[in-house]
Amino acid sequence: MNQDIYVVIEHLRGQVAEISFVMLAGARELAKGLGGNVVAVLLGHKAQGLAGNPSAGSGQCLAADKVLSLDHPALADFTSDAYQKVLTDLIRKDQPRAVLFGSTSIGTDLASTLSIKLGLPMVSSCCSFSADGKFVSQICGGKIMAEGDLPGPTALVTMVPGGYKAEQGQSTQSPAVTQVEVPALESLRVTLASYIEPESGDVDIAKEPILVSVGRGIQNQDNIVLAEELAQALGGAVSGSRPVIDQGWLATSRLVGKSGKHVKPKIYLALGISGAPEHAEAITDSDTIIAINTDPTAPIFNIAKYGAEIDLFDLVEVLTAQVKAAKGS
């Protein structure tokens, strides 16, 4: 039994996901209070390089005290069955104080089932920890927070972004990598058939400097043209939150959110977007967020720099006209 905090690193097609760094930062906070190490757990195939060079070009290393590499061809791409079998083995053997997973498509496929299989307690939707071993989770669309002592003997935790910045989980020093034996992986019940690329679309919203983003408040597809005109006037592009894409009013390539793109534009103009956590986490790195929403209690106002409690339909055309006038067109 040790006081180490294990972090299950999430990576997809050669790139370490940002949540991994957030988890490392959270793990560091926990580890400080407990006196243990932050151990990055890297499952994959020939993926050891990710420890020291997470994505080609960024040059950031995992801010961990050490890296455990579990290498097997069946682990090359994430599949729940294989990863579960490997982690069950590892956690049973090592019995760390806590194992952190991302509250993501990868992490949530693993944590709960492991909790049952190993008989270990779990906490989900955790956004931060305190040095005295407490967790803070957010539920109900980010409106309610729950705090408690980190359960034992080994706590399985899924983490959401927002509590730590990715930079806090990055370091310039490449941690030591230890190979760990992987159990036999046969008759796997889940196998990867293929990846399907997202529709490329005409625009990569992650590269746009200005985004005019619409949420449920846009009410119907016909009104999107108002946002398009504003975006055009400003020299940016239109994006949207999940409800808008689910209705088919905008292409999937325009989705900003947990399942869509994370964006960091100069200006993110949120029209009629409530700011639920799944969306908020994807825009917090923007330079300036401006929120327009008639609901004063909308969570978006907590992350925006400027806001107006005004009907977007009253504002957009007037704003477009003023912007055009200012540009002299």
Partner 1 sequence: MPERIDFWGIPFTWGSPAIYVYFLMALGSIILLVRFFQRARLWWRVGRPEVRWDRIHIRLWRLIKYAIVQVKVLRQKYPGIMHIGLAWGFFTFFLGTALATIDSHFLKILQGNAYLVYKFVLDTFTLLFLIGAGMAAYRRFIQRPRRLTLEPGFTWSLALITLIVLGGWFTESLRLAVEKPAWELWSPLGWLLAQAWIATGASAAPLMNWHLGIWIFHLLLVTLTLATLPVGTLLHILTGPLNVFFSKLDRPTGQLAPIPQTAKGEPIYASTLRDLTWKQLLDGDACTECGRCQDACPAFAAGKPLSPKQVILGVRAALRQDGRVLLNKDTKAPFLAGEKISDDVLWSCTTCGACVCECPVLIEHVDAIVDLRRYLVIEGRMDTELQGTLENLGRYGNSFGQSERMRARWTQPIQPPIKDARREPVEYLWFVGDYASYSPTLTDITVKTAEVFRKAGLDFGILYDAERNAGNDVRRVGEEGLFEMLMEKNSMALSKCTYQAIVTTDPHTYNTLKNEYPANGDERRPVLHYAELLDQLIITGKLKFSKKLGYKVTYHDPCYLGRYNGVYDAPRRVIEATGCELVEMPRHNDGSFCCGAGGGRIWMAEGEIQERPSESRIREAVKLGKVPIFVVACPKDVTMFRDAVKTTGNEQLVEVKDLIELVHAAL
Partner 2 sequence: MNIVILVKLVPDLVEELTIDISGVALDTAWLRLIINEFDDHAIEQGILLKERGGGAVMVVAPDIEGIDDVLFTAAAKGADRLIKIKGNFAGVNNHALARAFTAVVKDLQPDLVLTGVQANNDLDGSVGPLLAGCLEMPYVGYISGVSLSEGKSKVRKEYPGGLIAEMDVTLPAVLGIQAAEQPPRYVAVSKVRQMMKTSTIEERTVTDLDMAGGPTIGRMFQAEAGQRATMLTGSPDEVATKLVGIFKELGVL
Q: Which stretch binds partner 1 (CB under 8 A): 36-44, 157-165, 259-267, 311-319?
A: 311-319
What is the closest distance, in whole angstroms, from the C-beta atom of residue 52 to partner 2 in the complex?
23
Q: In the range 182-211, which residues lie near partner 1 by CB under 8 A?
A: none
In the list 219, 259, 302, 322, the residue contacting partner 1 (rule: CB under 8 A) is 219
Instruction: Say which DSSP state 175 is in.
Output: P
Residue 252 lies near partner 1 (rule: CB under 8 A): no
Say which entry of partner 2, partner 1, none residue 221 contacts (CB below 5 to 8 A, set by partner kind). Answer: partner 1
Name the helix (H) or strand (E) containing 24: helix 18-34
Q: Which stretch binds partner 1 (CB under 8 A): 133-141, 150-158, 216-224, 299-307?
A: 216-224
Q: Name which of 193 and 318 has its Cβ closer to partner 1.
A: 318
Residue 108 lies near partner 1 (rule: CB under 8 A): no
Q: Name which of 103 and 223 has its Cβ closer to partner 1.
A: 223
Q: Name which of 79 and 223 has its Cβ closer to partner 1.
A: 223
* 64: nearest Cα among 48, 51, 79: 51
Residue 247 lies near partner 1 (rule: CB under 8 A): yes
Q: Name which of 22 and 150 has its Cβ closer to partner 2.
A: 150
Rounded Cα distance, 307 and 8, in Å: 38
Q: Do 23 and 159 meet the contact criterion of CB atoms below 8 Å apart?
A: yes
Size of the site for partner 1 (CB under 8 A): 9
- Could you give the C-alpha distances from 310 to 99, 139, 173, 210, 271, in angstroms and in order? 45, 27, 49, 21, 10
Q: Do 55 and 13 meet the contact criterion of CB atoms below 8 Å apart?
A: no
Q: Name which of 141 and 183 has its Cβ closer to partner 2.
A: 141
Largest CA distance in the chain: 69
Residue 322 lies near partner 1 (rule: CB under 8 A): no
Residue 294 lies near partner 1 (rule: CB under 8 A): yes
In the list 14, 311, 322, 325, the residue contacting partner 1 (rule: CB under 8 A) is 311
What is the closest distance, in whole angstroms, from the C-beta atom of residue 178 to partner 2 in the complex?
28
Q: Contacts by 134-139 with C-beta closer than 8 Å and gap 24+?
A: 136/163, 138/162, 138/277
Q: Looking up tokens 């972004």, which residue turns up?
A: 161
Alpha-carbon torsion (87, 180, 190, 13), positive or negative: positive
Q: Name which of 144 and 196 has its Cβ closer to partner 1.
A: 144
Instruction: Say which DSSP state 131 is in.
Output: T
Residue 220 lies near partner 1 (rule: CB under 8 A): yes
Helix 80-94 and helix 111-118, axial crossing angle in degrees, nearest 10: 50
In the list 191, 221, 302, 322, the residue contacting partner 1 (rule: CB under 8 A) is 221
What is the closest distance, in whole angstroms, from the C-beta atom of residue 222 to partner 1 in the complex?
5
Q: Name which of 18 and 177 has its Cβ closer to partner 2.
A: 18
User: What is the b/e burial string over 155-191, where b = at least 16 CB atoms within 10 angstroms of the residue's CB?
Assistant: bbbbbbbbbbebebbbbeeebebeebebeebeeeeee
Which residues form the interface with partner 1 (CB under 8 A)? 219-222, 247, 294, 311, 313, 317
